[in-house]
Structure 1
Amino acid sequence: MTRDDDRDAASADDEQLLVLPDDLRHELKEPMGPIETDAERLLEAVDGPLIAVGDVVTYHLLEAGHQPDVALVDGRTKRSAVDEEIREVVTSGASIEVRNPPAELSAPVVRALQRALAADEPTTILVDGEEDLVALPAIVAAPEGASVVYGQPDEGMVHVKVADDHRTEMRALLERFEGDTERFWELLEGSSDEE
């Protein structure tokens, strides 16, 4: 089935939920956890599900011999295309493809995140657009003790060990986004088989 079969279904599928307001951008530049430059050392601190957000982070974890339970990649790093080797490695197992425009959280990416978190097999989500902001709902939706790892440009990998205080902080941050927060929470916290 292509997603363009029915114009109504396509527009509902691209449903914009939240948009990052300009005044929140500076807050997101601060790392939400410790920064690590060595993937093997980072993996020593992982003892639950691992969610990787970003191509370079996913690549380093795979090169260190660990397949993330959930990986979100978009073929880009710092607004430029990743090199061919990284792209091939991180997209080879992509099992879900979704659209998510830059500086937004769309319904398809939230649904894909929920499906991936519920899956028994490692799941790679290939995002057409930008995957950066998905770290926020991933922290809210991931189980206690899970690790969410995302890239901090020119510094390394940020490792967030999911706990209630992180969830509370991310909820408060997401509530400050513009858009349909009510629908966003319904999708994020609703059943994963809603699609």
Structure 2
Amino acid sequence: MPSGTDRSTPATKPPGRIRNLELYATCGDRVTATAISTGHLPLIGIVDRKTLRHEPIDIRSFELLAARREIKVVNPSGMLTEALRSAVKELVRTGGGLIDVEGEEDLGALALVESMPLGATVIYGIPGEGASFVRVDAIVKEHVRALIGQMEVRRVLRGDPSR
């Protein structure tokens, strides 16, 4: 990617960086728990209550965010379900909260970029690396919508990802 066009910035600073954000959402258990622990709640946090797909997270880490509203969705690994996208849209519209994913939340960052307002920031975890910050602007939204358009979006009915 040519210099100046990469809109994601790996987090190299401790949680103090989060304090400078006005409106943001998080995707990933560690990133969400860290944001909450700073006392600055994200508008939306998407979690699956695991890190590196096997280490559990203390569920009390998410209570403050879940107190706004909590939506539970099924989203299998490697997928971005309509249920997850709809939950993000609903929480953006109604004032935020926690999305608790049964399965895998990794592609939820795309749904956040798709639905968060311009000027917001999406922070998502990168296993073994830290986090990346993406400022939502028209160009980033366009790229994410094109990417989602190339993906097959499936509804997960009764836990069956084949439907």
Output the CA distance in 2 between the equivalents of 1:109 and 1:72: 9
Unaligned stretches of 5+ residues in structure 1: 1-30, 184-195
Output the CA distance in 2 between the equivalents of 1:116 and 1:160: 19
1:168 aligns with 2:142: yes
Judging by fraction of residues, say which structure has more helix. Answer: 1
Instruction: Tell me which residue corresponds to 2:18.
Output: 42
Output the CA distance in 2 between the equivalents of 1:64 and 1:34: 20
1:113 aligns with 2:88: yes
- Equivalent pairs, count: 146
Q: CA deviation at 1:93?
A: 4.4
Q: CA deviation at 1:107?
A: 2.1
Q: CA deviation at 1:126?
A: 0.7
TM-score (norm 2): 0.80
Q: CA deviation at 1:91?
A: 5.0
Give per-residue Cα distances to partners, 1:104-163, cap 9 Å, x unaligned: 12222111111111113x411111111110111211211000111100112211111100
Using a 3 Å threshold, how does the CA distance of structure 1 residues 176 and 32 change in structure 2: closer, same or farther?
A: farther
Find the partner of 1:101 among 66, 76, 89: 76
SS of equivalent to 1:140: helix
Sequence identity, in percent? 31
Structure 1 or 2, whichever has the larger Rg, is 1
Unaligned stretches of 5+ residues in structure 2: 1-5, 156-163
Find the partner of 2:130 among 143, 146, 156: 156
